[in-house]
A and B are shown apart, each in its own frame.
Chain A
Amino acid sequence: MRILIAEDDPVSSRLLATTLTKWGHEVVVTATGLEAWAALREQDAPLLAILDWMMPGMNGVEVCRKVRQEISDSPIYIILLTALNRKEDLIQGLEAGADDYLTKPFNRHELRVRLKVGGRIVELQSTLRERVRELEQAIVERKRAEDELRNLSLTDSLTGLYNHRGFFTLADHQTKSARRTGQSSLLIYADMDGLKQINDTFGHNEGSLAIAKTAEILRLTFRDSDILARLGGDEFAILAPAVSRQQTDTIIARLRVNIAVHNLQAKQGYQLSLSVGAVVIDHRNGSSIEELMVEADRAMYADKRSKRAKASDIAIHELPTRQLEAPKLPELEPV
């Protein structure tokens, strides 16, 4: 163990250093309180210190107090060395933060036993700190792994649909293979209307619920083989492979009907509404999925604008009642 000695009496200091060295310790010898304080503040400071009480300048008790005040997380074990043996002096020393004391001239056996106690405590504290450090490290690593996993994830945790990353990974793959087989697909960009109002009026929990319900309606409307995604916030995207140009209107209409039916049945204080833009992808359309998304986005905004023009309170977009009374839901042809 590395042990610091602070002792101004050269005879005691030499004797102490020789004794400790002979017992296999590495000693750092200082002769004043200031030197001791400087040594204890170093990065790799000894964890056990034997400080003489009476030293010129800063005495042992003062060093002790400073160590406890300024190196608060330090596990330094301090033994005060003193020729004084008055009880009140010892109490003063222990109150200043000393862990133990030895009276001079020291008895070798007593010194050995007290060092053993100190060493054991230093070791326990070091083990404890090491464990705490390991745990802190483990928490950091775990958090990093979770973040990484979240980034790697293809799924949106709120809705269970694909997320932005999932959508583009799968959609890219899908459009490429569709072009090869010459099949056309339908790309839909959908944006919830009035989510901000729902959040502001009913709170963000209700807003999340509205997003989840919208996802549910999308799931109900589209086929299992379609790629449904929440791109973020109130934006959704759908890629439905093997859909002809003629089927597109039917699918959009079915989506609108499902939203309307939901709004009729639901007892929430607001109605769900989606603005939708659709693009058909076929062999004539060689654009990338990103370019097609921009096109679908533009179509969606046109839809949103037309709804705004129709009603001032556009957040709640409803289908005409007539259409609801005749729920002749169009069916998709199995393909």
Chain B
Amino acid sequence: MDVLTSLEDAQPEEGSDLVVELIDLYLIEAARLMLAVHQAFDKKDQLSIRRAAHNLRGSSSSLGVRQMALICDEVERTEFNDRFPIAAEVLSSMQDEFERARLVLLAERQRRLA
């Protein structure tokens, strides 16, 4: 969570907690993109999978959710072609990582609001 701490530098003098706001933005955006990844996977639409993964990597790295960014990077670079069973495996670990990140971020959010 050191990245989150460094984000505090951008915290305005007045107004709500920027990190909490960024976490909320991230959780909404990431959930939307995860859904997009799954839908694209169902349609075997490789281009849309990569585009959603790319966006998710951007949000994740901005907030410092490193593991998530790494998996997204992997998905973005992988040529699935007809090897969609492999893709299913990668997507499942992506989903797991997102769940893990969400718990950590929610805990951090809670701690900050307390």
Chain A residues engaging chain B, CB cutoff 8 angstroms: 8-12, 14-15, 18-19, 21-22, 54, 83, 104-105, 108
List 29 contacting pairs A-B, 8 Å CB cutoff, sorted by A.
Answer: A8-B55, A9-B55, A9-B58, A9-B59, A10-B29, A10-B59, A11-B26, A11-B62, A12-B59, A12-B62, A15-B10, A15-B22, A18-B10, A18-B11, A19-B9, A19-B10, A21-B12, A22-B11, A22-B12, A54-B58, A83-B57, A83-B58, A104-B58, A104-B61, A105-B3, A105-B61, A105-B62, A105-B64, A108-B9
Please, how many angstroms separate the alpha-carbon atoms of A83 and B61 in the complex?
A: 9
- With A10-B29, A83-B61 in contact, is A15–B7 under 8 Å at CB? yes
Q: Which of B19-34 contact A (CB under 8 A)?
A: 21-22, 25-26, 28-29
Taking CB atoms, residues of chain B closer than 8 Å to A22 are: 10-12
Please, how many angstroms separate the alpha-carbon atoms of A15 and B59 in the complex?
A: 10
Given A18-B11, A19-B9, A54-B55: 8 more A-B contacts, CB < 8 Å: A10-B28, A10-B29, A10-B59, A14-B25, A19-B10, A104-B58, A104-B62, A108-B10
Q: Which of B47-88 contact A (CB under 8 A)?
A: 51, 54-55, 57-59, 61-64
Residue of B nearest to A18 (CB): B10
Q: Closest CB of chain A to B106's CB: distance in Å?
A: 16
Please, how many angstroms separate the alpha-carbon atoms of A108 and B11 in the complex?
A: 13
* Contact B9–A15 (Cβ < 8 Å): no
Please, how many angstroms separate the alpha-carbon atoms of A21 and B9 in the complex?
A: 12
Does B18 reach chain A (CB closer than 8 Å)? yes
Taking CB atoms, residues of chain B closer than 8 Å to A10 are: 25, 28-29, 59
Quick one: which of A11, A83, A105, A108 contacts B25, CB cutoff 8 A? A11
Q: Closest CB of chain B to A14's CB: distance in Å?
A: 6
* Contact A11–B59 (Cβ < 8 Å): yes
Please, how many angstroms separate the alpha-carbon atoms of A11 and B3 in the complex?
A: 13
Taking CB atoms, residues of chain B closer than 8 Å to A54 are: 51, 54-55, 58
Please, how many angstroms separate the alpha-carbon atoms of A14 and B63 in the complex?
A: 11
Please, how many angstroms separate the alpha-carbon atoms of A104 and B62 in the complex?
A: 7
Taking CB atoms, residues of chain B closer than 8 Å to A21 are: 12
Interface centre among A11, A19, A104 (most CB of B within 10 A): A11
Describe A's contact surface by its main secondary structure.
Answer: helix
Q: Closest CB of chain B to A18's CB: distance in Å?
A: 5
* Contact B63–A11 (Cβ < 8 Å): yes
Chain B: interface size category = 20 to 34
Taking CB atoms, residues of chain B closer than 8 Å to A83 are: 54, 57-58, 61
Taking CB atoms, residues of chain B closer than 8 Å to A11 are: 22, 25-26, 29, 58-59, 62-63
Please, how many angstroms separate the alpha-carbon atoms of A8 and B58 in the complex?
A: 10
Taking CB atoms, residues of chain B closer than 8 Å to A12 are: 58-59, 62
Taking CB atoms, residues of chain A closer than 8 Å to B12 are: 18, 21-22
Please, how many angstroms separate the alpha-carbon atoms of A105 and B59 in the complex?
A: 9
Taking CB atoms, residues of chain B closer than 8 Å to A14 are: 21-22, 25
Q: Closest CB of chain B to A120's CB: distance in Å?
A: 23
Please, how many angstroms separate the alpha-carbon atoms of A95 and B18 in the complex?
A: 36
Residue of A nearest to B60 (CB): A11
Taking CB atoms, residues of chain A closer than 8 Å to B11 are: 18, 22
Q: Closest CB of chain A to B64's CB: distance in Å?
A: 7
Please, how many angstroms separate the alpha-carbon atoms of A22 and B7 in the complex?
A: 12
Please, how many angstroms separate the alpha-carbon atoms of A54 and B61 in the complex?
A: 15
Taking CB atoms, residues of chain A closer than 8 Å to B51 are: 54
Please, how many angstroms separate the alpha-carbon atoms of A11 and B64 in the complex?
A: 11
Q: Closest CB of chain A to B37's CB: distance in Å?
A: 15
Q: Closest CB of chain B to A80's CB: distance in Å?
A: 14
Q: Closest CB of chain B to A85's CB: distance in Å?
A: 12
- With A14-B22, A14-B25 in contact, is A9–B62 under 8 Å at CB? yes
Taking CB atoms, residues of chain A closer than 8 Å to B10 are: 15, 18-19, 22, 108
Taking CB atoms, residues of chain B closer than 8 Å to A18 are: 10-12, 18
Please, how many angstroms separate the alpha-carbon atoms of A8 and B32 in the complex?
A: 13
Taking CB atoms, residues of chain A closer than 8 Å to B9 are: 19, 108
Q: Closest CB of chain A to B53's CB: distance in Å?
A: 11
Please, how many angstroms separate the alpha-carbon atoms of A14 and B62 in the complex?
A: 10
